[in-house]
Structure 1
Amino acid sequence: MKASKQIFGMFSAVVLVAFFGTACAESFPEKTGYLIDSRGNVVKNAYGECWRTGYWTPAMAIEECDPDLVLKKVPTSAEPTSSAPAPVIAPPPPPPVSAPAPAPAKPVVQVRFNAETLFDFDRAVVKPEGQKILDEKIVASMKIYPEVAMLIIVGHADRIGTEAYNQNLSERRANAVKAYLVKQGIPAERMKASGKGESDPDPEANTMQACKGLRGNRLIACLQPDRRVTVESQKRTPE
């Protein structure tokens, strides 16, 4: 009896497949991998399994019936996965910083030199320390700026001693500065040297009032601003 039921069930299934296969073959003449009803839906059994046709191959598998056989879409290089971190691009190195070029010497306008910077006391010979200062302040500038046509060199003295002596000392000091500059390559015709003795005290120091009543070394120290040499430039006039 049990064997008869099994035979009957198998017979029914064969009949069902044959029926739907005939019906679907009429509606969908193309070869399909699954049994399709008249509405275009895949036919399934009582367990929700899709009925395969005799044409079925793994290549015909669909997601609805055989999801394990469907080829998964492999992401291409144009579609990066979210798990892959974006490449880190290092910023370009900063441009090298070159050392600033030394500032060129400025043209002479007016330079004031204390007499003690250039000369020993009561002397008119330029000291080595004074020569170095003249090189930095005057010589370098005159060689760079040819538009400076003339240097006016003026010597000054304090009021200690006779007026004639101070006049002579101021002239000798101005000429000593000019002679040194000539040795350094500055043409003599581009310089004029003169002395004013004690007639032109330093206007900023106002020694006439500041040193009033002083004697000896205190007076010598107070009158120091009056003992000086100034160098002033005159630009070349256009012809």
Structure 2
Amino acid sequence: MIFWTLLRSAIAGAALLAVSFATQAQVKDVIVDAKGEIPYAIDARNVVARSGTGLCWRTGSWSPAAAGAAMAGQLPAGCECDSDVIPKDKCTTVAAAPAPAAATPTPAAVAPVAKKITLSSKALFGFDKAALTPQGKAAIDRNVIARLSEVGTLQLVTVSGHTDRLGSQQYNQVLSERRAKAVRDYLVQQGVSADKIDAIGFGKTQPVAGVRCADSLGRKKLIECLEPHRRVEVEIKGAN
């Protein structure tokens, strides 16, 4: 179980677009050294979490200097995540002497596969609640469990909880984490290995782009208008 602290910087881009095979093939894991301030969200393996489009998830402590100071092996983590703000000379290593040719043949490349599924919190929970309803469990069975086989060999399931802007950041952060954990726990009950699931709460830091709701609407209509922000996103990664 992984719970994330306040993430105050939202990731730009289309979080709901499906990722193409070609894009996925270019993305590699960035494993940071667990020393000092880490300006990116990481999982239990110290691997930087990415969005469906390959963008690294920044924490509220992110800055160009922090991205250049946090190391991922011989190079700063920012060389992979934010190469446009890191000096190029910091992202260059001296090439090692080529190793002798291996006698064994190179194995065939494995094609990565990813699916991203967005579930409305309304379909999963009661308003302002974090306990899955029977209808919510059925929605997960239908939209997530039934699709796990589509990615071949399952590698990782990332469950992220999101809220609307009503209420404090602290309250929404806790609620989003509880909802992500509830979905994760249900997936484990249905047979998904717990060590292949990450649960992350983003609170209200990642609203859906293009949804605009004026406070003048009144509370009931405002809650209805903000519904797209209240969601749980499940990203399934595997390999054929």
TM-score (norm 2): 0.50
Higher helix share: 1
* Greater RCO structure (CA 8 Å; 6+ sep): 2
